[in-house]
């Protein structure tokens, strides 16, 4: 069976029709993991094969999946790809994984990420650094690097991840798979190691838009264990899957997202995707999001402030990395955290400190509300907004050097939707040669952003475009059976 091209829903159908079994599917993926993971480094911890699999009548019918190593799974090592938690065994289960397992999925294992989800390349992991299956000399994107690699290389049919400032959409784009984040609060954060609490959003990496919607229908919903959990209905109208046209849909194109510095190949593929939306009947509407220019600065202030607060709990005394004496908090934290968490802790502590709070954090919070208002006004004119996911394709390892700002700039198109808490999806739409002399065409993704609670609109537009362009979809040739 060609697991590089088989969707989650196709696997469920095969199990229910008796053409295969959950055990056979699990074994096939484990065989691919054993063959390719030593090179790709997506998985950090493998789970044992279940003694029994869920029945075919369950939503997932026993089909396996991978979990970003940020989700707590009771009794399983959960590291956040950090030395601080390298040997931590989770004492309880996250809400999302509880719902996934209750729906009949089986667990292949944990996949790597940037340390504590802090990074846009996967290079910031203190443990395993995942490689892009399209070109293993290049980054996979981050922070959900292992999740994207696992799905793109056929090492899992779908994977859980999180998105704080683009951590599902950007690796989805760079690995040629679908990265989806719902509205903030739709999926519970309970049992997921926190990075920035007002931004962290659990979501998925899948092969198809419909797979993403299917999983969303199972994971989303109110959770009393998460104070930010939404209570509104998460139902998606099934008729959207019958659409093959976008007549009556208005797609906004924000001028602020088409900037100097974008790779010419990325611009070409994004322009072609927007033209295809028009061919499919959508009305293309220019819109403006005037506060976009401030979004990176606002994001890196708000996020860093919340990081400094959330990571204060890791002292090496109650749990986590401990130096030789075990009682020196400064040594414990210095040895447990890598360079990127330390950088963000210091930034966050600074912007929250006396004398600087009003100048930085308070001002950033006020501008964040202006960003939300920009989107509210735009969505009075359009149903969804379409933008690039990133200004470049995946770059070579080490290309950003010791300059973190170079990597932060790659978030320029994804952080605005995060600041506004909006649903957004990255859809593979084409391929482009890197501008650094690379000879392998790398994936390019189109971002589709919806209004608050507008997941159905995002899925609808993305699915129609996906079905119209599916013939262009490729797989990484070095990992094709």
**Catalytic positions, please?**
68, 143, 167
> Phi and psi dihedrals of 384, rounded to 5?
-140, 170
Helix (H) or strand (E) holding 235: none
- For residue 34, the SS3 value is helix
Residues 133 and 476: beta-carbon distance below 8 Å: yes
Distances from the Cα of 392 to the Cα of 67, 165, 301, angstroms: 27, 17, 24
The first and second tokens of residue 429, run together, are: 């739409």
Convert 318-363 into a string of H (helix), E (strand) and C (coil). CCCCCCCCCCCHHHHHHHHCCHHHHHHHHHHHHHHCCCCCHHHHHH
Specify the residue for token string 């506004």: 420
Task: State the Rg of the chain over Cα.
Answer: 21
75: left (phi over 0), alpha (psi -120 to 50) or beta: left
CA atoms within 13 A on the CB side of 55: 2
Residues 146 and 130: beta-carbon distance below 8 Å: yes
Smallest Cα–Cα separation from 69: which of 115, 100, 26, 105?
Answer: 115
Helix 455-469, helix 209-219: angle, nearest 10 = 150
| CA angle at 463 for the pair 462 and 464, rounded to the nearest 5° | 95
Secondary-structure percent of the chain, ordered helix, strand, coil, rounded to 5: 40, 15, 45
- For residue 173, the SS3 value is helix
Question: Could you give the CA distance from residue 412 to residue 415 in angstroms, rounded to a whole number?
Answer: 6
Residues 481 and 29: beta-carbon distance below 8 Å: no
DSSP letter string, 112-139: --SGGG--SSSTT-SS-----TT-TTB-
């Amino acid at each position: 069976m060609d697991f590089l091209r088989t969707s989650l829903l196709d696997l469920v159908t095969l199990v229910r029709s008796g053409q295969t079994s959950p055990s056979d599917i699990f074994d096939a993926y484990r065989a691919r993991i054993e063959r390719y993971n030593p090179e790709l480094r997506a998985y950090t911890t493998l789970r044992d094969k279940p003694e029994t699999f869920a029945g075919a009548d369950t939503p997932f019918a026993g089909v396996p999946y991978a979990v970003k190593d940020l989700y707590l799974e009771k009794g399983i090592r959960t590291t956040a790809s950090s030395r601080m938690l390298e040997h931590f065994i989770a004492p309880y289960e996250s809400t999302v994984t509880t719902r996934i397992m209750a729906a009949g999925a089986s667990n292949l294992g944990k996949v790597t990420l940037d340390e504590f989800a802090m990074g846009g390349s996967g290079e910031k992991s203190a443990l395993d650094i995942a490689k892009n299956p399209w070109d293993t000399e290049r980054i996979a994107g981050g922070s959900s690097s292992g999740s994207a690699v696992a799905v793109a290389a056929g090492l899992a049919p779908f994977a859980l991840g999180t998105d704080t400032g683009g951590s599902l959409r950007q690796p989805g784009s760079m690995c040629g798979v679908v990265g989806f984040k719902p509205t903030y609060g739709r999926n519970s954060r309970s049992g997921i190691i926190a990075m920035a609490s007002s931004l962290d959003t659990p979501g998925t990496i899948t092969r198809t838009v419909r797979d993403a919607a299917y999983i969303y229908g199972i994971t989303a919903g109110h959770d009393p264990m998460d104070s930010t959990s939404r209570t509104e209905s998460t139902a998606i109208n099934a008729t959207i899957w019958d659409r093959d046209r976008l007549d009556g849909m208005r797609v906004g194109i924000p001028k602020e997202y088409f900037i100097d510095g974008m790779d010419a190949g990325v611009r070409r593929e994004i322009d072609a995707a927007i033209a295809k939306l028009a061919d499919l009947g959508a009305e293309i509407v220019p819109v403006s999001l005037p506060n976009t220019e401030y979004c990176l600065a606002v994001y890196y202030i708000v996020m860093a402030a919340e990081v400094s607060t959330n990571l204060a709990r890791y002292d090496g005394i109650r749990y986590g990395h401990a130096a030789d004496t075990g009682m020196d908090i400064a040594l414990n934290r210095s040895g447990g955290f890598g360079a990127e968490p330390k950088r963000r802790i210091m930034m966050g502590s600074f912007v929250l400190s006396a004398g600087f709070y009003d100048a930085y954090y308070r001002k950033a919070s006020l501008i964040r509300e202006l960003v939300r208002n920009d989107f509210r006004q735009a969505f009075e004119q359009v149903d969804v907004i379409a933008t690039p996911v990133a200004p470049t394709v995946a770059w070579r390892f080490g290309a950003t050097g010791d300059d973190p700002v170079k990597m932060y700039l790659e978030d320029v198109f994804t952080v605005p939707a995060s600041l506004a808490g909006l649903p957004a999806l990255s859809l593979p739409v084409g391929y482009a040669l890197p501008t650094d002399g690379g000879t392998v065409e790398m994936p390019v993704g189109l971002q589709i952003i919806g209004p608050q609670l507008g997941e159905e609109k995002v899925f609808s537009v993305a699915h129609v475009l996906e079905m119209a362009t599916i013939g262009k979809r490729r797989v990484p040739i070095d990992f094709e059976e």
